[in-house]
C-alpha cells in the first residue's frame, strides 16, 4: 500500500529525537512505511521540507537523501481537482492551503491515503473522498 506522507510527518522524523513523546508512534510508523517502500513523495512536500533549511551543507545532504523518494506525477487534472476541492470547501466555510488540497486531489486520483497529523485533513475528510493513514499498533502500543 502506497501512502502520501505530509510535511509534518517528515518534520517529526527529521528532528532526530527532539519530538514530543506523542509523536514517537508516528515516527515509528513513518520508519516502517519507509522499510516497506510505501512512502510517496509529492513535489510541493519536498519543497516545503527543503525550504526550511538554513545551512547549505545540511540542505544538500537532505536533498540528496530525499532523492531516494521520487515524486509522484502531478497532472493538470490534479491541480484542477485541487482547485475544485478548495472552492467547494471554502463555500462551506472550511479553509485550507493550496498544498493541502493538492494532497487531497492526489490522494483521490491515486487511491492512496494521506499520512498526516494535521487535523485540517480530518475536517476535509468529512467533505472529500480522501482516506487518512493512521499509525498501526506497534510493539503492543495502543493507537489513540
Q: What is the pLDDT of residues 21-75, one digit of tens each?
A: 778 889 999 999 999 999 999 999 999 999 989 999 999 999 999 999 989 999 9
Total domains in the chain come to 1
Judge whether 26 lies within some domain: yes
Read off the C-alpha cell for 47. Answer: 519543497
Judge whether 129 lies within some domain: yes
Judge whether 143 lies within some domain: no
Contact in structure between 114 and 131 (CB atoms under 8 Å): yes
Tell me, what CATH number does 35's domain have? 3.40.50.1010
Strand order in 39-40's β-sheet? 39-40, 3-5, 114-115, 132-133
Judge whether 90 lies within some domain: no
Contact in structure between 3 and 34 (CB atoms under 8 Å): no
Contact in structure between 10 and 45 (CB atoms under 8 Å): yes
Q: What is the pLDDT of residues 81-133, one digit of tens each?
A: 999 999 999 999 999 999 999 999 999 999 999 999 999 999 999 999 999 99
Domain of 20 in residue numbering reads as 3-73+112-133
Read off the C-alpha cell for 93. Answer: 466555510
What's the pLDDT at 141?
A: 40
Judge whether 105 lies within some domain: no
Question: Cβ–Cβ contacts within 10 Å for residue 113, how many?
Answer: 18
Judge whether 46 lies within some domain: yes
Judge whether 60 lies within some domain: yes
Amino acid at each position: 500500500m502506497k501512502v502520501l506522507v505530509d510535511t509534518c510527518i517528515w518534520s517529526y522524523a527529521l528532528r532526530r529525537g527532539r519530538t514530543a513523546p506523542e509523536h514517537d508512534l508516528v515516527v515509528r510508523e513513518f520508519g516502517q512505511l519507509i522499510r516497506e517502500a510505501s512512502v510517496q513523495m509529492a513535489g510541493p512536500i519536498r519543497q516545503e521540507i527543503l525550504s526550511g533549511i538554513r545551512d547549505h551543507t545540511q540542505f544538500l545532504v537532505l536533498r540528496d537523501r530525499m532523492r531516494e523518494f521520487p515524486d509522484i506525477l502531478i497532472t493538470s487534472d490534479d491541480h484542477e481537482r485541487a482547485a475544485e476541492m478548495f472552492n467547494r470547501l471554502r463555500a462551506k466555510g472550511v479553509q485550507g492551503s493550496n498544498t493541502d488540497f493538492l494532497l487531497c486531489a492526489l490522494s483521490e486520483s491515486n487511491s492512496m491515503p494521506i499520512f498526516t497529523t494535521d487535523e485540517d485533513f480530518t475536517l476535509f475528510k468529512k467533505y472529500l473522498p480522501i482516506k487518512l493513514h493512521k499509525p498501526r499498533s506497534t510493539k503492543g502500543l495502543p493507537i489513540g
